[in-house]
Amino acid sequence: MSTAAVAADERLALLDHGAGAARTALYLVLALPLGLLHLGALLPVALISPAGLWRLAELERKLANRLLNAHIPPLPYRRMEIVGVPPRRVLALLLLRLPLTVPVAVVGLLPLALTFGFVRYGLEGVWGVSDRYLGPWTLGPVVGVLLWVLAVAAAILSIAVLDELRAPLRAFVIRPLASVSTAAVAVREALAERIGDQTLAIAYWLPDREAFVDERGLPVELPEPDSGRAWTEVAHEGRRVAAIVHDAELDARPELVRAAASGAVLALDNERLKADLRAHIEELRTSRTRIVEAALEARRRIERDLHDGAQQQLVSLSLDLSMLRSSVASDPAATQLVDASLEKLRSALDELRELARGIHPAVLTDRGLSAALDTLVARMPIPVECRVDAEERSSPAVEAAAYFVVAEALTNVAKYANASHASVSVRRVDDLLEVEVVDDGVGGAEPADGSGLRGLDDRVAAVDGTLDVHSPRGSGTRVLARFPFRSALAPVGPAVS
Question: 455 pLDDT band (50/70/90 cuts)?
Answer: low
Q: Is pLDDT at 60 greater than 80 in this prediction?
A: yes
Count of CB atoms within 10 A of residue 1's CB?
A: 7
pLDDT digit string, tens, across residues 200-259: 888 888 888 788 888 777 888 888 887 888 888 888 777 888 888 888 777 656 667 777
Nearest to 283 by CA among 218, 220, 239, 237: 218
Question: 307 pLDDT band (50/70/90 cuts)?
Answer: low
Give the integer Cα–Cα distance in Å for 141 and 123.
9
Q: Which of 43-47, 330-334, 377-381, 397-401 has the lowest mean pLDDT?
A: 43-47
DSSP string of 430-497?
TTEEEEEEEE-S-----GGGTSS-TTHHHHHHTTT-EEEEE--TTS-EEEEEEEESS-TTSPPPPP--
In one-letter notation, the amino acid at residue 124 is E
In one-letter notation, the amino acid at residue 308 is D
Q: Which residues contact 467 (CB under 8 A, 6 or more apart)?
A: 405, 456, 457, 460, 461, 479, 480, 481
| Residue-averaged pLDDT of the chain | 75
Question: 436 pLDDT band (50/70/90 cuts)?
Answer: very high
Q: Which of 71-75, 127-131, 303-307, 419-423 tops mean pLDDT? A: 419-423
Alpha-carbon dihedral sign for residues 350, 356, 359, 365? negative
Q: Is pLDDT at 492 greater than 50 in this prediction?
A: no
Q: Is pLDDT at 420 greater than 80 in this prediction?
A: yes
pLDDT digit string, tens, across residues 8-39: 555 555 566 677 788 888 888 888 888 877 77
Question: 386 pLDDT band (50/70/90 cuts)?
Answer: very high
Contact 275, 213 (CB under 8 A): yes
Structure confidence at residue 489 (pLDDT): 46
Question: 423 pLDDT band (50/70/90 cuts)?
Answer: very high
Structure confidence at residue 490 (pLDDT): 43
Structure confidence at residue 424 (pLDDT): 93
Question: 494 pLDDT band (50/70/90 cuts)?
Answer: very low
Kindly report whether the global pTM for this prediction surpasses the value 0.75. no
